[in-house]
Amino acid sequence: MRHPTRSLIIGSALIIGVVGVLIYQGLSNNLVYYITPSELLTKQNITGQSFRLGGQVRPGSVQLNPKIRFLRFVLQDPKASVEVVSHDLPPQMFRAGIGVVVEGTYTGRLFSATNLMVKHSNAYRAPKPGQTPVPDTYVDNSTQ
């Protein structure tokens, strides 16, 4: 008769191995490295390369036109800000004030994003007091 404890140990090792592989795959495919706007402004010769930029969407800076798939906003960190344009519609959770990571190229003035990801850890941070609301604008060509 086979020893049940031994087969159990083999089974457990198998499960742990599979989970380990899953974690390895998950981490290697889904880690998103990025630089911040203030790091970007200190870097030279970064134009032309594709890289990722992470920061907070400045409230009041979002302009969105779903008809022609145009999105423009300012990405900021406490020290610097960069203007971002994209021709993709933003994901569900995108809104002013949220943390995002954008992937694309920098022309020296504008960051042209090919991919936009909402960063999870910065969501719903408590707001700073003492500021007046600035509505974001959603442009509509049919009425203007």
Partner 1 sequence: MISFFGHLSILCGLAVALLGAAASLLAQPANQPTWALWGRRAAFLVLGVVAFATGLMILALVTHDFSVKYVSDVGSRSTPLYYTVISLWAALEGSILFWALVLSCYTALFLSLMRDRFAELQAYATGVLLLISAFFLFVIAFPGNPFALVSPAAPAAGCPADGCGPNPLLQNHPMMGLHPPLLYLGYVGLSVPYAIAMASLLCGSTSPEVLRLIRRWALVPWIFLSLGITAGMWWSYAVLGWGGYWSWDPVENASVMPWLVTTAFLHSLQVQERRRMLKTWTMSLIVAAWLLSIFGTFLTRSGVLQSVHSFTQTAIGPVFLAFFGFFLLASAALLVARSRDLGVAGTLDATICRETAFLVNNLLLVAITFTILLGTIFPLLAEAVQGSQLSVGAPYFNHIAVPIGFALLFLMGIGPALPWGAARLSELQYRLLGPVIAGVGVVFVLLAIGVRGIGPLVTFGLAAFVLVVTVSSMGADVGSRRSNTGETWLGAGRRLVRANPRRYGGYLAHVGVILAVIGIAASQAYVLRTSATLVPGQTVSVGGYTVRYLGFEPRRESNRMVLQANLSASRANQDLGRLTPSLNYYATVQQPVVTPAVLEQPWDMVTGVVQGRNPLPDLAQLVHGRNPFEDLYVVLQGIDTQNASTHNSRRPILLQVMVNPMVGFIWLGGFLLGLGGAAALLPARQRRRVSAVVPELRVHAEEVTA
Query: Sign of the C-alpha dihedral, residues 105, 86, 39, 30?
Result: negative
138: which residues sit within 8 A by CB, 6+ positions away? 63, 64, 65, 66
Residue 57: strand, helix, or coil: strand
Q: List the x/- string, 99-118, binding to partner 1 by CB under 8 A.
A: --x---------------x-
Q: What's the closest the beta carbon of residue 118 comes to partner 1, in angstroms? A: 8
- Considering only the stretches 41-49, 79-87, 92-100, 102-110, report the one whose residues sit in contact with partner 1 under the rule CB under 8 A: 92-100
Instruction: Note whether 137 binds partner 1 by CB under 8 A.
Output: yes
Instruction: Note whether 49 binds partner 1 by CB under 8 A.
Output: no
